[in-house]
Structure 1
Amino acid sequence: MQKMERPVGEDMRHAAGETAGIGGITDRSEAEKSRDKYFSLYDFSPSGYVTLDKEGVILEANLTFANMLGVERFRLLSRPLALFLEKSYWDILYFHREKAFSSKKREWCEVQFKKMNGEKFFAQLQTIAVKDQKENYTLSLSAIMDITERKAMEDSLRVAFRELQEIFQVSGDGLLALDENLNILRMNDVFAEVANIKSGKVIGKHYKDVIHEPLYPRIGRAVNEITQGAEYYQTEVEQTSEGGRLAIYRFRAHPFWDNDNHLAGMLIALRNVTEQMEIREAISREQKTLSFILENIDQGVITMDDEGYIIHMNSAAEKYTGIPRKEAVGGHVSDVITLAKERTDYTCVRCLQELANGIVEFREHAPCGKNIFMVCRDGNAVRIEPRCAPIMDEKRAITGATMIFKVIE
Structure 2
Amino acid sequence: MQNEEHPAWLDILRRRAELVVRHTPIEAIIPKPPEPHRLLHELQVHQLELEMQNEELRRAQDALDIARARYFDLYDLAPVGYCTLNEQGLIVEANLTASGLLGVARGTLTQQRLSAFILPEDADIYYRHRKQLLNSPEPQSCMVRMRCAQGREFWAVLSSTLVSGGEPPSQRVTISDISELKRAEGSLRQSESRLRDAESLAHAGAITWDFDSDRTTWSDEVYSITGRSLGEPVLRLDECSSLFTPESATRFSEAIRQALTANSTFDLELEVVRPDGVHRQARARGAALRDARGRLVRLACSLQDITEQKQAEAERAALQSQLAQAQKLESIGRLASGVAHDFNNLLAVINGYAGFLSLELPAGDPLKLSAIEICKAGARASNLVAQLLAFSLTQANKSDAVSLNQIVVESVQMLRQVVGSDIEVITRLSQGAGPVLADADQLHQVILNLAVNARDAMPHGGRLEIATREVELDAAATLRHPDAAPGRFVVLTFTDSGTGMTAEVRERIFEPFFTTKEPGRGTGLGLATVYGILRQNGGWIEVETAVGRGSTFRIFLRQPEAAGETVQAEAVIKALAGRGETVLVVDDQQAVRQLARTVLVAAGYQVLEARDGAAALEIAHQHAGRIDVLLTDVVMPGTNGYLLSGKLRQLHAHLRVILTSGYSRDMLAGAESLSGDELFLRKPFGPEELTALVRQALERSGTQGGPASAAGA
Structure 1 length-normalised TM: 0.55
CA 1:104–1:221 in structure 2 vs 1: closer, same or farther (change >3 Å)? farther
Q: Which residue of 2 aligns with 1:91?
A: 124
- Structure 1 or 2: larger helix share? 2
CA RMSD, 1 decimal: 4.1
Is 2:88 the partner of 1:55?
A: yes
For 1:205 and 1:65, the matched residues in 2 are separated by 50
Please state how far the C-alpha of 1:99 moved relative to its aligned partner: 3.2
1:173 to 190, 193, 203: 203
Larger deviation, residues 56-65 vs 256-265: 256-265
Q: Cα 1:398–1:251, aligned 2, differ >3 Å: closer, same or farther? A: farther
- Aligned-residue identity in percent: 20
Give the secondary structure class of the aligned counterpart of 1:171. helix
- For 1:154, the equivalent position in structure 2 comes to 185
- Structure having the higher strand fraction is 1
Distance 1:241 1:39, change over 3 A: closer
> C-alpha displacement at 1:100, in angstroms?
3.6
Equivalent-residue separation in structure 1 for 2:188 and 2:156 (angstroms): 19
- Which residue of structure 1 aligns with residue 217 of structure 2? 185
* Contact preservation (8 Å) 2:161, 2:173: yes
- Sort the Cα spacing of 1:51 and 1:180 in 2 relative to 1 into closer, same or farther, 3 A: same
1:278 pairs with one of 296, 314, 317:
314
Are residues 1:122 and 2:122 paired?
A: no
Contact in 2 for aligned 1:186/1:203 (Cα 8 Å): no
In structure 2, which of residues 244, 267, 270 is the aligned counterpart of residue 234 of structure 1? 267
Correspondence list, 1:188-207, <5 A: 188=220, 191-192=222-223, 194-195=225-226, 197=228, 199=229, 201-207=231-237
Cα shift at 1:111 = 1.9
Match of 1:69 among 102, 122, 134: 102
Change (3 A) 1:244 1:66: closer
Q: For residue 185 of structure 1, what is the amino acid of its counterpart?
A: T
> Which consecutive unaligned segments of at least 5 residues does structure 2 have?
1-55, 326-478, 485-507, 512-526, 532-540, 544-713
Contact 2:85/2:91, CA 8 A, preserved across alignment: yes
**What is the CA–CA distance in structure 2 between the aligned matches of 1:30 and 1:240, rounded to whole Å?**
80
Contact 1:175/1:269, CA 8 A, preserved across alignment: yes
Q: 1:248 to 1:86 in 2, by over 3 A?
A: closer
- 8 Å contact 1:105–1:128 — kept in the other structure? yes
Could you say if the C-alpha distance between residues 178 and 218 of structure 1 is closer, same or farther in structure 2, counting changes exceeding 3 Å? farther
User: Partner of 2:100: helix, strand, or coil?
Assistant: helix
- Which structure has more relative contact order (CA 8 Å, sep 6+)? It is 1
Per the alignment, residue 592 of structure 2 pairs with: none
Structure 1 residues 371-382: aligned runs within 5 Å: none
Deviations 1:93-115 (A, max 9, x none): 22223334444334322222212
Equivalent-residue separation in structure 2 for 1:123 and 1:390 (angstroms) = 64
Q: Would you say the 8 A contact 2:210–2:216 is kept in 1?
A: no
Which stretch shows the higher mean deviation, 106-115 or 76-85?
106-115
Distance 2:189 2:61 in 1: 55
Matches of 2:156 and 2:165 in 1, distance apart? Answer: 26
Residues 229 and 242 (structure 1), Cα distance of their counterparts in 2 relative to 1, 3 Å cut:
closer
**Which residue in the other structure is 1:252 paired with?**
285
| Cα drift, residue 82 of structure 1 | 0.3
Report how many aligned residue pairs link the two structures.
Answer: 277
Instruction: Please say if residues 122 and 151 of structure 1, whose CA atoms lie closer than 8 Å, have aligned partners that are also in contact.
Output: yes
**Secondary structure of 2:61's aligned partner:** helix
Q: Whole-Å Cα distance in 1 between the matches of residues 147 and 208 of structure 2? A: 43
Q: Deviations over 1:309-368 (max 9, x none)?
A: xxxxxxxxxxxxxxxxxxxxxxxxxxxxxxxxxxxxxxxxxxxxxxxxxx995459xxxx
Partner residue of 1:142 out of 167, 173, 191: 173
Q: Which TM-score applies when normalising by structure 2?
A: 0.34
Deviations 1:236-269 (A, max 9, x none): 2234567766654333336677787754452422
Which one of 303, 307, 310 corresponds to residue 269 of structure 1? 303
Moved more, 180-189 or 35-44: 180-189
**How far apart, in 1, do the equivalents of 2:204 and 2:298 lie?**
20
Kindly tell me: are residues 240 and 141 of structure 1, through their superposed partners in 2, closer, same or farther at Cα, counting changes over 3 Å? closer
> What is the CA-CA distance between 1:391 and the residue it aligns to?
5.7
d(CA) in 2 for partners of 1:202, 1:72: 56
Alpha carbons 2:84, 2:91 under 8 Å: kept:
yes
In structure 1, runs of 5+ residues without a counterpart are 1-23, 291-358, 365-388, 400-409
Partner-residue secondary structure (3-state), 2:231: coil
CA distance in 2, matches of 1:115, 1:145: 14
Change (3 A) 1:249 1:38: closer
